[in-house]
Each structure stands twice: as C-alpha cells, then as structure tokens.
Amino acid sequence: MSPKALRCVTLAALLGLAIHADTATAATRLNPSSDSSSDDSSSDSNDATAPTPVPAMHVSSAPTSAAREMTTPSPAAMIAFTAAPTMLMMPAGNGTAFNGTDTPSPNTPIPKPECNSTQAVSIRYSATTGRLYLEAGVEGERGGCVTVEQIWEARGGGTTTGAKAPLYAVDPVSGEYSDVITGTWLLEEDLYVEDGITLKVWGNGSGGYADELRLKSTPPTEDGGNGTYINLRAHGGSLDFEHTKVFGWDTTNNSYDMDETDGRSYISAVSEIVLDPTQTCEGNAKNTMGEARMDIVNSEMGYMGFHDSESYGLTWKVRGFCKDKSNPEVFDQVNVYGNIYDSELHHMNFAVYTYGHQQGDWRRNTVHSNSGYGYDPHDDSDFLTIHDNVVYDNNWHGIIASKRCNNVSIQGNIVYGGNDTSAGIFLHRSSDYAVVKDNHCYGNGDAGMAMLESSNAEISGNIFEGNKYGIRMSVGCRDNFVSNNTMTNTSQYAIYTYQGSDPAEVQPTGRSQDNIFDSNTVVGGPQAIKLKESDGTRITNNVFYEPGLVEFSNTTENVVTGNVGLEDATEVELVEPACFAETDEASLAEYSC
C-alpha cells in the first residue's frame, strides 16, 4: 500500500470514530460484619464522630449488561441507566482498524488485583481540610473496596435528610442535585483513597452505577473570588475506572471546564514510603502511605489538569526522589502501577504522566487534543507497554519516554498532528533498550522519531511520513539499531544526527556513536542524510529514492555500504573532519579515515 493510500485508510478509520460543607464531620464504616467500633488514625481526628452502619442502596434492581432506558428524574423514582459505551475499533500501526489481536510485548504487565469487598472501610469527611477520606476500618489493615454509590449512601444519599458534602447524585442534563441515583455524580471537594483501599468507579457496562463522574472545577468569580478545583487521589490506595466518563466540570456553566489557565481538577495515584527517616533532601518522602495504582478501562477522561506538579490531568507518581538525585534506589523499592485499555483521554494538560511507574500496559487508547504531551512516562518508569494507540493533535510530543525509562515497548501506534515542535515518538535522557516497532508517525512538526542521549534501542518497521525529520538523534545517542523503516516526504532531513545544545550527562562529548541505519527506505525530501558531530555511524543496505542532498559534517569512522540510489543524490557535501572507515560510494572513497 502506498503512503498516500495508507494515510487515507488511517483517517477513514479515525473518522469512524457553591461548595457545600458540613459544620461537623462523620466517619462511616463499610463492614459486612456490622463492626461499629470507631477508628480514626488521621491527623483530622478532631473532626470525626462515631461510625454508623451503611444504609442499603436505593436502587430499583441490580445492574445488567442490557441497555437501560433513561427516564426523567424525580425524588420518588429511580433513574435507569443509559447503555454501556460502545467498544471502539482502534486503528493499529499499519493504518487499518484494530483487528482484536494485541501486538505482543516483551514486557509483562502487572494486572489489577482483586480487592476484598468484605474488608472494613471507614468513610470520613473532614470539614477542617474540606476533604473526604477512605481509610482502613481496622487500624493497621490494608485493602477493601468502596463504590461511588456506597459513599453517597454513607453520606446520607437517598434518605429524607439528603446527601451531605462532597458527593452528590445529579441530573445528567440539568446538573441539579437528585435524591435518587442517576448514574451521574458530582464530587465537589477532594477525595483521598488511602490504606490500600480501592475506589471502584464503575459504570453500567461493568455492573456499577457510575456512568459519569464530574469533578467540580470552576473559574474565579467576576468579583475576585477564588475558583474551585479538586483532586481525586489514590494516596497509597487504588482508583479503578471501568465503563465510565470522568470530566472536570464547571458547575457555573453546567459544562466541561475548558480553561486550564486558572487551574482545573485532576486525578492522581501517589505512592509514598519513608525509606530513610534521616533523609532531609528536597523531595524526600514525608509519610508512609504505601504504593498506589490507577486503572482505566473502557472509559473517557477529559477536561482536567493544568501545568503543575502532580496536577497534569492523570498522574501516577512515586514521591521521595530527592531533587539532587542522591537516592535513585527509591525506584527499586517503591513503584506506582496501573493499566489503561480501550479508553479516550483528551483535553488535559498531559493525558498520561508517570514518575516511577512499573510495568504499565497501555493499549488501544485514543489520546488527543491535550495541551501538553499525550503519553509522558517520566523518571524511571520502566518496562512499559504502549501499543496499538491512536495519538493525535497534542501540543507537545505525542509519546515521550523521558529520563531513565528503560525497556519501554512502543509498538503499533498511530501518532500524528503534532505542532511545529512536536515529535511523534521521543526517547529522551537515558531511556534505553526501547523497542519502537511498526508505528505510523505522520504530519508532526518535528521528527517522526526523536532521540536524545538514549541507547540500545531497536527501531524497526515504522513509517515516518510527512514530518520535518524522519529520525533525529542528538546529545550522545549510541548503539541504536534502526532498520526496515520507511521515511517519506520529510520536509528537511530523513536521517539526522547532531550534537545539540543540551548538556550531555552520559557521553561527555555529546557526540552520537555507533548507530546503525540498515535496510531502510527513504523517499523524497530535500535531504536524505545529514550526519553531524557523530562517530562510527553505519549506513548500510538502504534504498534511497530521489535522495536530494547528502551531507557529512564533523563525523568520523562512518561506514556507508550496500545502499541503492545514494548515487542519485543531487549533491554530496562534506565538511571536515568527515571520514569513512568503509564505503563503496565513489564520491566518498577519497575521504577514508
């Protein structure tokens, strides 16, 4: 299939596609054994009262997999649910609709564990912090499950007195509070999930009653009053989203919060364990909360986040890494976890930001229209699988693995539509031993594939089409194997190496070394090759059509052999020192090292 036809298939496939606060607090225990003993181990214990039994759910019937008819809400009637979301057929890396067969990964994901629904959980609201806590029902125990509807019931929902802050059932159209479950929920203040507890935000498609969760997110008032944005956080606990939608919600307009400049609500999973009580560095862990995870399946998440630490939209983070980088061992002992499948992540700052994430499995998602990155696994997020996603129209790089993200597998993705400085896929700062295979990156303002000071990657079978660069390497990339890729219609350079202006941290000279470009196809563009400030580059067995200019500048010990079409270059430019350890190109033969 031609690149033009491939692009058409891709596009066709895509087109198929005021705060209420209590004056006192209450702690409520979820426990099938009806254990009513009180527990309050938090620093907000002065706000707690004795727990009360959880009332029975006010539902007309148990959820089923069948579609339910929505009715007009009323105080006396239970509102039925809409049908479960339809599964999207995601385009895979070959430009065709995802065929249901996952691209194999060299990495093993860590599956979502089952939570123990019989374990006691305390639901406690603090008026002091303006925050709802899910905590251990028995001191020292970890685990247990809570659903959104159980929190609502525990806070008085469905009773004659009505629900109390901060979680409300609301009419999905008007946004007004409802006395019955509607499937749409409004969270107006922070909610922290702790002590290994899992908050299950499950919609009808998974047998739950949370088809949509809205996080209150309002702008400052015209008279100078503060706006409101909140944090739904697993702090040593877990968040589990299935068949649901979660949005930052401007209650003043009863619509999405589309302006991140004044702050927006966000979701985070934070692992934190004090490993060394004597540690006093900036960034050290302050509390032992345990490890966290967040899973997202068949869900839509959007209009959340802004550019601040842990606030980007969806964040997975290990706390405790010192700013001076003096304790890298923290990532060997503490991790954060979570998988993302068949979901749509859009209109956030970063759709996915991770820091210390381990063995995440992110497949068949659509990630688009984010003001920053699409996928951004960061510091020491290792053994990740990023497969069969469609990533487009993000303001920064589509997929970037940055700072010691080792053994990441990036395969079968379609990445397009980045702005003038956006690469499709980027391996940054010692993100080594990656597999980047069978992706289609096109129409990005920077490179289809960019690398900065990363090594030992296997980059093969990709299509890089209509980008500024095909593949660019800078700041000491080394020992990378680039093979069987197709680079077409690049607006500047198809194969590009240079030192760059960023300081080198691994290779002192910042010169790329011993990279191999073998059996690739380069079609059109003004300049097929631009090698600068590099050593030992091997350009072998490639096919060039209309290669344009070929340039070697301050680059030594190169091997250029077995290529077809390179002799058709309109010009060969050499800037000393430039020499070749081996070449069968007549125009280069006299420049032996």
Tens-place pLDDT, residues 9-24: 333 333 333 333 333 3
Which residue is listed with tokens 């563009």?
A: 525
Strands 212-218 and 245-250: parallel
Give the max Cα distance, the chain: 92
User: What's the pLDDT at 7?
Assistant: 35
Q: Which two tokens stand for residue 263?
A: 């702050």
CB 399 within 8 A of CB 425: yes
What average pLDDT does the chain have? 86
What is the pLDDT, as a whole number, of residue 162? 82
The strand ranges marked E within 211-260 are 212-218, 228-229, 231-235, 238-242, 245-250, 255-256
Determine contact, residues 234/269, Cβ cutoff 8 Å: yes
Q: Are 271 and 317 spatial neighbours (Cβ–Cβ below 8 Å)?
A: yes
Token pair 């990656």: residue: 434
Which structure tokens are listed for 485? 């890729």
Distance CA 485, CA 491 (A): 17
pLDDT tens digits, 125-158: 999 999 999 999 999 999 999 999 999 999 999 8
The DSSP code for 6 is H
Helix H, strand E, coil C: the string for 349-417 is: CEEEEEECEECCEEECCEEECCCCCCEEEECCCECCEEECCEEECCCCCCEEEECCCCCCEEECCEEEC
464-504 confidence digits (pLDDT tens): 999 999 999 999 999 999 999 999 999 999 999 999 999 99
307 to 51, 149, 191, 259, 265: CA distances (angstroms): 39, 31, 21, 12, 12
Give the residue from 359, 364, 372 showing the smallest Cα distance to 343: 364
Retrieve residue 394's tokens.
């993000």
Alpha-carbon span 228 to 217, nearest angstrom: 5
Residue 89: the pLDDT is 33
- Give the containing element (helix H, strand E) for 487: strand 486-488
Distance separating alpha carbons of residues 393 and 221, to the nearest angstrom? 31
Q: Reduce the DSSP state of residue 276 to 3 states and report it.
A: coil
Q: How many CB atoms lie within 10 A of CB 6?
A: 19
Q: What is the DSSP string of 505-546?
A: SSSTT--EES-EEES-EEE-SSEEEEEEEEES-EEES-EEES
Q: What is the pLDDT of residues 373-394, one digit of tens each?
A: 999 999 999 999 999 999 999 9
Q: 357, 331 in Cβ contact below 8 A?
A: no
Spatial CB neighbours of 172, under 8 Å, sequence gap ≥ 6: 70, 182, 183, 184, 212
Identify the helix (H) or strand (E) that includes residue 451. strand 447-452
CA pair distance 552, 571, nearest whole angstrom:
11
Q: Which helix (H) or strand (E) holds 148?
A: helix 148-154
| Burial bucket for residue 36 (CB in 10 Å: 0-12, 13-18, 19+) | exposed
How far is Cα 118 from Cα 145, in angstroms, rounded to an integer?
8
Q: What is the pLDDT of residue 14?
A: 34
d(CA 393, CA 426): 16
- Strand ranges inside 59-162, DSSP E: 121-126, 131-136, 145-147
CA 306 to chain CA mean position, Å: 14
Those residues with Cβ within 8 angstroms of residue 396's Cβ, 6 or more apart along the chain or in another chain? 372, 373, 418, 419, 421, 422
DSSP letter assigned to residue 102: P
Which of 54-58, 101-105, 151-155 bottoms out in mean pLDDT, i.e. has the lowest? Answer: 54-58
Average pLDDT over residues 98-122: 89
Q: What share of the chain is helix, strand, coil (3-state, %, to 5)?
A: 5, 40, 55
Structure confidence by residue, pLDDT tens digits, 310-331 = 999 999 999 999 999 999 999 9
CA 181 to chain CA centroid, nearest Å = 31
For residue 48, name the pLDDT band (cuts at 50, 70, 90). Answer: very low
Q: Other C-beta atoms within 10 Å of 176: how many?
A: 12
Output the pLDDT for position 224: 79
Q: What is the pLDDT of residue 222?
A: 83
Q: What is the pTM of this model?
A: 0.85
What percent of the chain clears pLDDT 70, i.e. is strictly above it? 83
User: What pLDDT score was predicted for residue 332?
Assistant: 97
Place of tokens 């959104």: 148
Amino acid at 430: S
465 and 471 Cβ atoms separated by less than 8 Å: no
Region 330-335: what's the mean pLDDT? 98
Supply φ then ψ for residue 51, to 5 degrees: -70, 155
Cis bond before residue 73 (omega within 30° of 0):
no
Q: Residues 6 or more apart from 264 whose CB is under 8 A from it?
A: 217, 229, 248, 257, 303, 304, 305, 306
Please state the rounded mean pLDDT for residues 165-178. 96
Structure tokens at 208: 């739950």
Are the C-beta atoms of 593 and 581 separated by less than 8 Å? Answer: yes
Cβ(148)–Cβ(185) below 8 Å:
yes
pLDDT of 412 higher than 60: yes
Residue-wise pLDDT for 190-217, tens only, equals: 999 999 999 999 999 999 999 999 999 9
The residues pairing with 340 across neighbouring beta strands, listed in sequence order, are: 296, 362
Lowest mean pLDDT among 294-298, 435-439, 484-488, 504-508: 504-508
Q: How far apart are CA 66 and CA 70, in angstroms?
A: 13
Q: Count other C-beta atoms under 10 Å from residue 429's C-beta.
A: 19
What single-letter DSSP state applies at residue 336?
A: B
Of 376, 372, 422, which is closest to residue 403 (Cα–Cα)?
376
The total number of residues shown for the chain amounts to 593
Question: In Å, what is the CA distance from 271 to each residue of 247, 283, 288, 468?
Answer: 24, 13, 9, 39
